[in-house]
Amino acid sequence: MGMMNDTTGLDFILMGFSDQPKLEKILFIVVLISYLLTLLGNIAIILVSRLDPKLHTPMYYFLTNLSFIDLCFTTSIVPQLLWNLKGPAKTITPIGCAIQLYVSLALGSTECVLLAVMAFDRYAAVCRPLHYATVMHPRLCQSLAGIAWVSGLGNTLIQGTITLQLPLCGHRRLYTFLCDVPAMIKLACVDIHANEIQLFVASLVLLLLPLGLILISYALIAQEVMRIRSAQAWQKALRTCGSHILVVSLFYGTITAIYIQPNSSYAHRQGKFITLLYTVVTPTLNPLIYTLRNKDMKGALKRLLGKDPR
């Protein structure tokens, strides 16, 4: 009997930060503000990138995908988190938990691959500037974005379905604030060694493999810039790649701490705060990084607001 069948009519309890009532009040305000900024920032990037013809480039095509992912990812998690932080109820229905698991896992996996695709785009921009338009033609961009989305959907269908089919017994308390694979497999009343191996393999493929490709892309970029031996070339490369490097550092620095770590440490307080960083804080910072550090985006915003006639 699968998990969903075993839990019909029995809600899951998201323990979250319930052991720290005073902290919950502070977190409610912080998370609410972060969520509103996430909505505002990512919607602005999507609209500006679509409406301004000067931003109809591969970089902003991928950035639009990233903003849409962050927008949906936080929406799949934060409203439930705010509800649990605000009131005494810390529960989520089995159906709600399954939906949250599928959606957040699909979008998180897609973002891992998309960031690698964006690193390849930056490599083409820096190392193949004269052939950039030929290399990053629209059909290739659509194919690369499609690969990212298919990878995310495939991963969530496999991992999510396997996780939800695990039989439950005993309590249904999740010692975190969302339904995710590492926390949910601990509720099973069977040996989960195979599930832990499967989670580790999936993490290698969808976390470390894209991260490896990102590092290779930036190693090639650094090699190309060092060959030129020009301070101006370094400045141009930093302008071209700086925002993406910051986003990659934030995203992978937090998510790998959750999925590539000793299993016994996941339920610790530190794990909950790291999860909070990559589910709430990082999607808030991404649009700020791309707007505050990007002259094209700032110029497009000014044009749309009528403050720049050019």
pLDDT tens across 201-242, in order? 888 888 889 999 999 999 998 888 888 776 776 777 777 788
Please report which confidence band the pLDDT of residue 118 belongs to, taking 50, 70 and 90 as the band edges: very high
**8 Å CB contact between 43 and 59:** no
**Between vectors from CA 90 to CA 85 and to CA 95, what angle results, nearest 5°?**
120
Please give the pLDDT value at position 308. 59
Record the pTM: 0.87
pLDDT at 255 over 50: yes
9's CB contacts (< 8 A; 6+ apart) are none
Residue 268 and residue 19: Cα distance in Å, rounded? 12
pLDDT at 22 over 80: yes
Residue 186 and residue 271: Cα distance in Å, rounded? 15
Residue 227 and residue 206: Cα distance in Å, rounded? 32
Residue 44 and residue 38: Cα distance in Å, rounded? 10
pLDDT at 103 over 50: yes
Please report which confidence band the pLDDT of residue 179 belongs to, taking 50, 70 and 90 as the band edges: very high
Mean pLDDT in residue range 46-56: 88
CA atoms within 13 A on the CB side of 232: 0
pLDDT tens across 134-177, in order? 999 999 999 999 999 999 999 999 999 999 998 887 778 888 88
- For the 12-305 domain, the top CATH level (class) is mainly alpha
Domain ranges of the chain: 12-305
Please report which confidence band the pLDDT of residue 28 belongs to, taking 50, 70 and 90 as the band edges: very high
The mean pLDDT value of the chain amounts to 85
* Number of neighbouring beta carbons within 10 Å of residue 177: 27
105: tokens are: 């896992």
Site of tokens 């090639």: 220
